[in-house]
Amino acid sequence: MTAKEINDLMRRSPDDLYRALMNELGRYVYVIVFNKLRSCGTNEDIEECVSDIFAELFIAVEDGGVNDVKKLAASIANRRAVDHFRRLTAKGRDTMSVDDEEFPELADQFSVEDISDTKELRRILLREISSLGEPDSTILMQKFYYNKTSAEIAKNVKMTASSVRSRCTRAIERLRVSLSAVGITR
């Protein structure tokens, strides 16, 4: 979403802007938070963090001057998720800092090229999943990104759990074929 689109939506209706931001960035922000908090937080903790992020994002967008809303959302999401992680783990759980001098090899394991390749691969994967259409894309996203069971997904897409499982199997096969077409294999 460009700065011009944000300003146009803000002038027309702030509510429309909020809905557009939630639609465009909701899953993206949720995945960032989920990846940071899945080891220590509950679903409620994750949802609370996502709500805090969007509250801060809406305030920043209302103030104006936002050129890249996705980059801003990622920055806020990472910062807030780390804060929530620290708060949750401070309640009696011990954590290890990567910055500790005892573990210098951990910092050496990260490569900018690897991170860039991973992001590109994720972008392609999400594009190909979306191209499968509904309800297959929703089923795959909920199953593999949000770790939901077939029964939970069935409630959301108004199908039976067995139908969800069979659609998932067929969608995975279609996804495998479409990924092969763009040059991605195991």
- Is this model's pTM higher than 0.75 or not? no
Whether residues 129 and 170 fall in one domain: yes
pLDDT tens digits for 22-50? 888 888 888 888 888 888 878 888 888 88
CATH of the domain at 59: 1.10.1740
One-letter amino acid identity for 114? D
Are 168 and 139 a contacting pair, CB within 8 Å?
yes
SS3 assignment, position 62:
helix
Is residue 78 one of the residues assigned to a domain?
A: yes
Domain ranges, residue 77: 3-89
pLDDT in tens, 70-128: 888 888 888 998 888 888 887 654 445 444 455 555 445 555 566 666 777 788 888 88
Residue 39 domain-assigned (yes or no): yes
Distance, in Å, from the CA atom of 56 to the CA atom of 72, rounded to the nearest integer, reads 10
CATH number, residue 120 = 1.10.10.10
Least confident of 6-15, 97-106, 156-165, 176-185: 97-106
- Which of residues 60, 89, 118 is at a domain's end? 89
The confidence band for 147, taking pLDDT boundaries of 50, 70 and 90, is confident
Domain assignment of residue 99, yes or no: no
Which contacts of 98-107 are long-range, i.e. CB under 8 A and separated by 24 or more positions?
Answer: none
146 and 68 in a common domain: no
The structural domain count of the chain equals: 2
**Cα 143 from Cα 181, distance rounded (Å):** 23
